[in-house]
């Protein structure tokens, strides 16, 4: 195409970082993919070494395996075990280029993407930008808590936890020690449940060895869920079994309860409860994260982009959305498909075939999601599984969860590292990564001065 006979519409000799992102010359149609998550990488895999020029853009230079963020946060894994460089991933893909940049705006009228490093044109644009933590407008909660949508968030949680436990060993103030050793997790979905289970095992097996100064009972874990059951997307059996597992691990599960405010020390709930805690991890919701340039008329609930059955964004001719950012609204899926890895990967694979068919002037079938089941783990040897009509829990569910996640990690080395860490932990409950590499500090420029709680702090702690 004519626009690709030049370098992003600009002659080679005039290309500058401030004007355009330089790419290899190509006469092939250009597919620009924004986001290297599960959906984006599945699309890249489907288009590799085909008659298209593929450009992958991401703000990071690595893919992140999000399902295991909680294990990094609780010192079970090192971050390099679950991240994989894009350039290593696309090694040998002759038609694929990676560019490290953050997309700021889409100019659909000129088929142009504006990034913080320059601009480039496209023939087909695919948004696979995923989601970010949704605090539902509660600014004070956002300032003082931590989400878990990025590998950096996981490291921040780890450093916050270890620093607070160290400070608890130093202080002689009982109330301050309580605040430092209380953990509140908001959200009873898979991320919240798995985080609560991992923290409970840390409390049971690691705390007594590392901190003999005080009993492990001093560390309390609260899981706050607004609905009347955990794991709402799974079966009732999975939900009730998960609740039993967590209660057996001494996790205090608060159902039909939601957080109304958090000032960094006191958690307030809508029912009037107050919990003293300096550790709050937010897993209660996400919202779509995409650049400017898409008309708000095509944005639906959850800040997701509405697409047709062929994953094309409403109102656009050559812009597509896949993964968590996409909402394919139909009679069968009035809320869109679930925001899970398997849906994202299926959409990426389907779109690859469809784009190739479009280029070859062939028709394509609409996207149909095939649910392969859901899994969630609650610590070691405890998990729940919904596989169609087959629903079970316990050791075999945990074993299946482990195999599925291990095989899904990118790179043989990463599989080996994670497998080795899991094997050591299985026999010893040991977590060897309890080191504070850097101090975690709240951004004081964003944090306001808070007033003291107007009501006494509820001492739910069991001493």
Inform me whether the pLDDT recorded for 331 exceeds 90: no
Q: Torsions phi, psi of 237, nearest 5?
A: -65, -45
Is the Cα torsion angle 336, 340, 346, 352 positive or negative in sign?
positive
Determine the length of the chain.
463
Inform me whether the pLDDT recorded for 447 exceeds 60: no
Q: Are 138 and 441 in contact (CB under 8 A)?
A: no
Closest CA to 392 of 249, 242, 229: 242
Task: State mean pLDDT over 373-395.
Answer: 93
**Hey, is 220 helix, strand or coil?**
strand
Task: State mean pLDDT over 50-56.
Answer: 97
Residue 18: the pLDDT is 55
Q: Are 303 and 280 in contact (CB under 8 A)?
A: no
Inform me whether the pLDDT recorded for 231 exceeds 60: yes
Distance CA 7, CA 23 (A): 7
Q: Please, what are the domains in the chain?
A: 28-58+100-131+285-358 (3.50.50.60), 137-282+379-426 (3.50.50.100)
Closest CA to 49 of 352, 320, 311: 352
Task: State mean pLDDT over 106-134.
Answer: 96
Residue 443: the pLDDT is 64
Regarding pTM above 0.85, the answer is yes
Which has the higher per-residue pLDDT, 72 or 11? 72
Q: Are 259 and 224 in contact (CB under 8 A)?
A: yes
Banded pLDDT at 431 (limits 50, 70, 90): low
Residues 6+ apart with CB under 8 A from 297: 314, 315
Task: State mean pLDDT over 300-319.
Answer: 95
């Amino acid at each position: 195409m004519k626009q690709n006979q030049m370098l992003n519409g600009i002659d080679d000799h005039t290309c500058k970082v401030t004007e355009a992102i330089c790419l290899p010359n190509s006469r092939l149609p250009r597919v620009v993919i924004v986001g290297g998550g599960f959906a984006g990488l599945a699309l890249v895999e489907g288009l590799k070494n085909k008659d298209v020029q593929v450009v992958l853009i991401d703000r990071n230079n690595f893919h992140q395996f999000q399902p295991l963020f909680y294990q990094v946060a609780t010192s079970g894994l090192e971050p390099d075990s679950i991240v994989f460089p894009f350039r290593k991933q696309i090694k040998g893909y002759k038609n694929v280029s990676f560019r490290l940049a953050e997309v700021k705006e889409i100019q659909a009228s000129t088929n142009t993407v504006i990034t913080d490093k320059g601009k480039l044109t496209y023939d087909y644009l695919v948004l696979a930008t995923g989601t970010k933590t949704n605090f539902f407008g509660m600014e004070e909660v956002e300032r003082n808590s931590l989400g878990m949508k990025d590998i950096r968030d996981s490291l921040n949680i780890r450093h916050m936890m270890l620093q607070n436990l160290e400070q608890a060993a130093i202080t002689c103030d009982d109330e301050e020690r309580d605040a430092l050793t209380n953990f509140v997790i908001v959200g009873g979905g898979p991320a919240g449940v798995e985080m609560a289970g991992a923290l409970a095992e840390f409390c049971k097996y690691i705390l007594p060895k590392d901190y003999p100064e005080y009993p492990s009972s001093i560390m309390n874990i609260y899981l706050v869920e607004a609905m009347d059951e955990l794991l709402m997307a799974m079966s009732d059996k999975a939900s009730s079994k998960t609740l039993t597992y967590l209660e057996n691990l001494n996790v205090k599960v608060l159902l039909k309860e939601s957080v109304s405010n958090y000032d960094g020390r006191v958690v307030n709930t809508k029912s009037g409860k107050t919990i003293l805690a300096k550790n709050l991890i937010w897993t209660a919701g996400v919202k779509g994260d995409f650049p400017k340039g898409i008309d708000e008329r095509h944005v639906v609930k959850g800040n997701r982009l509405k697409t047709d059955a062929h994953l094309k964004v409403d109102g656009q001719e050559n812009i597509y959305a896949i993964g968590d950012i996409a909402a394919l609204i139909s009679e069968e899926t009035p809320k869109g498909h679930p925001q899970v890895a398997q849906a994202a990967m299926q959409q990426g694979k389907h779109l690859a075939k469809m784009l190739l068919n479009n280029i070859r002037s062939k028709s394509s079938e609409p996207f149909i999601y095939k649910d392969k089941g859901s899994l969630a783990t609650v610590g070691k040897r405890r998990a729940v599984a919904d596989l169609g009509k087959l629903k079970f829990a316990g050791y075999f569910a945990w074993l299946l969860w482990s195999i599925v996640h291990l095989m899904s990690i990118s790179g043989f080395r990463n599989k080996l590292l994670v497998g080795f860490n899991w094997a050591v932990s299985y026999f010893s409950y040991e977590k060897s990564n309890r080191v504070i590499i850097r101090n975690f500090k709240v951004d004081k420029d964003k944090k306001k001065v808070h007033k003291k709680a107007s009501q006494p702090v509820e001492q739910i702690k069991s001493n």
